[in-house]
Amino acid sequence: MTVMTKTGNEDRLTNGKLMVCLDVDGTIVNHRGEMSQPVRHTARDVVAAGHEVVVSTGRSLGATLPVARELGIDRGYVVACNGGVIAKIAGTEVEVIHREVFDPSLVLATLWRTMPHAKYALENEQGEFLSSDDFSDASFGAPARVVGFDELVNSKAVRVVVFSTDATAEEFGQAVHGLGLSGVTYSVGWTAWLDIAAEGTTKASGLERLRGTLGFDSAATLAVGDGRNDIEMLQWAGTGVAMGQAPDEVKAAADTVTTSVDEDGLVAVLQGVLDS
């Protein structure tokens, strides 16, 4: 697969190094959380070739760092919490260089009235997870401490997660969209799962902040993802690539589509970076 970047209405082969922005779940790892050897090896080759590989995910920082290290990123950056956290990796040291904190009280109260039986959790400004129930997930990267809902409402957040066991993903999505949530940015996942961040905060906003710091031209950015929370990132990138199993709306936001995660679709994209 040859990676192209857009300049006006024409495409051209990229020259020099790229800022390669990769979603995790459904892109780097499959839906069982497994990373294939071809993905691992090819990604490490891209890192070794001097390209800036940035893991960009809805996962929290603690669940993102092991993936970055497995890809051979021992000096670089990750964008976690759907753009809410940007961190710098320097050997064994990790520095959070930006954290987008917001007040979740209004959106939590709105959701609670409609979905009182859902599970709620949030990551606070210290990177700790609080939950209203015995609710944890691998994407948190840390155990959640169970607290009363009032404490959740009165906490500042970087990321809020809502999970419903009472509805399908489609029913849940329709219910959430019908609430008209304001003052936040949110995305509905593959299941009845909702991620909420500060207003205007997406993977794209976090990556754009990082792109300016690193000095990459917009045309020298490449992004790969498969979820609805990747749509802005794929539109932001000089070249956006959707995974083969992505929903149609995600594919529509991309410039091109690779094969599915179970077919190692990311490998073809990364090989194109190495070959360009």
pLDDT of residue 7: 37
Q: At a CB cut-off of 8 Å and minimum separation 6, what does 273 contact?
A: 3, 18, 20, 46, 49, 51, 222
CATH of 105-198, one of 3.30.1240.10, 3.40.50.300, 3.40.1360.10, 3.30.930.10: 3.30.1240.10
CA distance 123 to 130: 6
**Per-run averaged pLDDT (10 residues), the chain, 276 residues:** 40 65 97 95 97 96 96 97 95 95 90 85 91 85 90 92 75 69 62 82 96 94 95 97 96 98 98 93
pLDDT of residue 124: 93
- CATH 3.30.1240.10 residue window(s) in the chain: 105-198
pLDDT of residue 181: 67
Superfamily for the 4-100+202-275 domain? HAD superfamily/HAD-like (3.40.50.1000)
pLDDT of residue 11: 34
Where b means 16+ CB within 10 Å and e means fewer, 1-22 reads bebbbeeeeeeeebeeebbbbb
Tell me, yes or no, if the pTM score tops 0.85: yes
- CATH 3.40.50.1000 residue window(s) in the chain: 4-100+202-275
pLDDT of residue 135: 83
